């Protein structure tokens, strides 16, 4: 079978796998952001007990392999009668893991904002919550974009581990194709190229977002203070 | 300068320590309506801390502070509400870096005072005009000079219609040739009768417009009086020495 013939068989299947890769990555990134941002705020502005609690969460999820977290949720919890579908387990494990990492990126961004910003906001009578909402968050999001882009890109790759619990994403499809046609070289190069294209496109998109949200002088303000 | 006996700020025996270091050792001071008080003293003597104790950005360890008859050191009062009308200008401007000059002024009007957009916009433009920067309204802080930033910061405070303005070394971070434009705005304010407390070493400003110079050292008020007396004929040799030194420099 020529490579072109193989492409005709393989690409439609890889396309289906890619869609699942996308779905898992996006949902996990979103869960991670919904967890990560409040966790970062709690770590910087929260009361002591809350800071302690969220720090424990971050350290546990950063300090253990994501694969262990995935297996614990998918294989471990059923021992206690808590059963998830493969997809749900994937969203939970990788989403929680990403939340821990994302919170660190957001925390760095929040702490890069000069303390004078909060002081100025309070001095005109804003409450702490208002200051966080109108002054801290808009700046923190902008500062976080470069490191958050890293997380988004690595998520697309890391999400491939869910093939180990039989979620039929792109790498899973590749494995099936390979065992059927015995051509690991062609298959993995093909899949590798698809990852490269997808990540290239994402990088361009994220750079564009960064460019469009840039505020003149904000970068200098960050470095200066 | 319009003067009255109405007490705007009253500070009573305020103490503040950072760790073991006593920064304020029992400061008491009254400021009446329309007064312009200049706080001077060597760095690290608690001038800025005292200023921040007035609007409670720094909470004193003990002692009481009243602004316009309301005791701000009372933990039961709504301090956010009280701060709305105590303007503060910082050494390093602290403009909101992600907002244009206009939005910097608008933010408080809309979210703190709850003004309608259009009315707030007009008010904000008026305040920018007052500091001579209406034409820079769509510039971000990163696109303004230091002097312009400080004038926007003053406009941001003025928009909230403060009963007193606190200036914390407003010209110390500025290039020498940009100091004048900020001092001009401050002088205009003083002439209009704004009650002001300024930490500054701009002796020219003190001589021309202030009603009282307060000399602080080591967390205490050493001597105070009108600028004529303080600059030309102070009671204490230490006051003469310090004010003489900074008069030479400015």
Three-state secondary structure of chain B: CCCCCCEEEEEEEEEEEECCEEEEEEEEEEEECCCEEEEECCCCCCHHHHHHHHCCCCCCCEEEEEECCEECCCCCCCHHHHHCCEEEECCCCCCCCCCCHHHHHHHHHHHCCCCCHHHHHHHHHHHHHHCCCHHHCCCCHHHCCHHHHHHHHHHHHHHCCCCEEEEECCCCCCCHHHHHHHHHHHHHHHHCCCCEEEECCCHHHHHHHCCEEEEEECCEEEEEECHHHHHHCCCCHHHHHHHHHHHHHC
Residue B22, phi then psi, degrees to nearest 5: -80, 110
- Tell me which residue has tokens 């606190």: B166
The tens-digit pLDDT sequence of chain A (225 residues) is 788 888 888 999 999 999 999 999 999 999 999 999 999 999 999 999 999 999 999 999 999 999 999 999 999 999 999 999 999 999 999 999 999 999 999 999 999 999 999 999 999 999 999 999 999 999 999 999 989 999 999 999 999 999 999 899 999 999 999 989 988 888 999 999 999 999 999 999 999 998 898 888 776 444 443
Predicted pLDDT of residue A113: 94
Q: What is the dihedral of CA B188, B194, B198, B201, to 10 degrees?
A: 30
Residue B31, phi then psi, degrees to nearest 5: -130, 125
Pairing of strands B70-71, B62-67: antiparallel
CB contact under 8 A, A127 and B80: yes
Q: What is the pLDDT of residues A93-120, one digit of tens each?
A: 999 999 999 999 999 999 999 999 999 9
The model's pTM is: 0.88
- The dihedral built from the CA positions of residue B131, B132, B138 and B140, taken in this order, carries a sign that is negative
Closest residue, chain B, to A222 (C-alpha) = B97
* Strand, coil or helix: A97: helix
CB contact under 8 A, B97 and A215: yes
Q: Which residues of A touch B81 (CB under 8 A)?
A: 125
What is the pLDDT of chain B when averaged over all its residues? 94
Query: Which 8-state DSSP code applies to residue A199?
Result: H
Predicted pLDDT of residue B246: 86
Put simply, the chain B residues between 206 and 235 with a CB less than 8 A from any chain A CB are none
The tens-digit pLDDT sequence of chain B (250 residues) is 445 789 999 999 999 999 999 999 999 999 999 999 999 999 889 999 999 999 999 999 999 999 999 999 999 999 999 999 999 999 999 999 999 999 999 999 999 999 999 999 999 999 999 999 999 999 999 999 999 999 999 999 999 999 999 999 999 999 989 999 999 999 999 999 999 999 999 999 999 999 999 999 999 999 999 999 999 999 999 999 999 988 887 6
Greatest C-alpha distance within chain B? 56
* Strand, coil or helix: A188: helix
Put simply, the chain B residues between 71 and 110 with a CB less than 8 A from any chain A CB are 80-88, 90, 92-98, 107-108
Q: Cα separation of A106 and A111, whole Å?
A: 9
Task: Give the minimum alpha-carbon distance from B107 to chain A in angstroms, rounded to a whole number.
Answer: 8
Q: Cα separation of B239 and A179, whole Å?
A: 91
Q: Cα separation of B212 and B37, whole Å?
A: 5
Q: Hey, of A116, A122, A123, which one would you mutate to test binding to chain B, going by the most B CBs within 10 A of its CB? A: A123
């Amino acid at each position: 079978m020529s490579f072109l013939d193989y492409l005709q068989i393989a690409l439609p299947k890889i396309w289906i796998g890619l869609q699942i890769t996308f779905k898992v990555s996006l949902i996990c990134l979103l869960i991670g952001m919904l967890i990560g941002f409040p966790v970062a705020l709690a770590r910087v502005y929260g009361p002591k007990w809350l800071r302690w609690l969220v720090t424990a969460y971050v350290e546990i999820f950063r300090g253990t392999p994501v694969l262990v977290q995935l297996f614990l949720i998918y294989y471990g919890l059923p021992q206690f009668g808590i059963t998830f579908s493969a997809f749900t387990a994937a969203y939970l494990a990788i989403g929680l893991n990403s939340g821990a990492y994302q919170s660190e990126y957001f925390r760095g961004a929040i702490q890069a904002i000069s303390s004078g910003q909060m002081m100025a906001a309070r001095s005109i009578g804003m409450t702490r919550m208002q200051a966080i909402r109108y002054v801290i968050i808009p700046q923190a999001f902008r500062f976080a974009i470069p490191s958050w882009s890293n997380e988004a890109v690595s998520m697309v790759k890391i999400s491939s581990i869910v093939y180990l619990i039989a979620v039929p994403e792109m790498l899973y499809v590749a494995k099936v194709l390979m065992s059927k046609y015995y051509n690991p070289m062609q298959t993995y190069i093909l899949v590798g190229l698809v990852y490269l294209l997808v990540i290239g496109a994402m990088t361009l998109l994220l750079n564009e977002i960064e460019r469009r949200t840039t505020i003149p002088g904000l970068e200098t303000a960050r470095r200066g203070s | 300068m319009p003067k009255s006996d109405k007490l705007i700020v009253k500070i009573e025996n305020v103490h503040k320590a950072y760790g073991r270091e006593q920064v304020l050792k029992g400061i008491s001071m009254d400021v009446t309506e329309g007064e312009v008080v200049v706080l001077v003293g060597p760095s690290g003597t608690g001038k800025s801390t005292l200023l921040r104790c007035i609007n409670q950005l720094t909470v004193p360890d003990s002692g009481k502070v009243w602004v316009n008859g309301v005791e701000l050191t009372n933990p039961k009062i709504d301090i956010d509400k009280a701060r709305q009308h105590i303007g503060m200008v910082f050494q390093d401007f602290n403009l909101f870096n992600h907002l244009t000059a206009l939005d910097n002024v608008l933010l408080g009007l809309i979210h703190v005072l709850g003004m309608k957009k259009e009315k707030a916009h007009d008010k904000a433009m008026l305040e920018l005009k007052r500091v001579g920067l209406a034409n820079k309204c769509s510039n971000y802080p990163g696109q303004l000079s230091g002097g312009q930033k400080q004038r926007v910061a003053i406009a941001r405070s003025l928009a909230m219609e403060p009963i007193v303005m606190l200036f914390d070394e407003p010209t110390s971070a500025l290039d020498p040739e940009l100091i004048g434009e900020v001092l001009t705005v401050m002088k205009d304010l003083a002439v209009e009768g704004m009650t002001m407390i300024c930490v500054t070493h701009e002796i020219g400003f003190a001589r021309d417009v202030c009603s009282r110079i307060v000399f602080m050292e080591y967390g205490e008020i050493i001597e105070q009086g009108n600028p004529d007396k303080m600059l030309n004929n102070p009671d204490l040799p230490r006051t003469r020495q310090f004010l003489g030194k900074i008069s030479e420099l400015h």
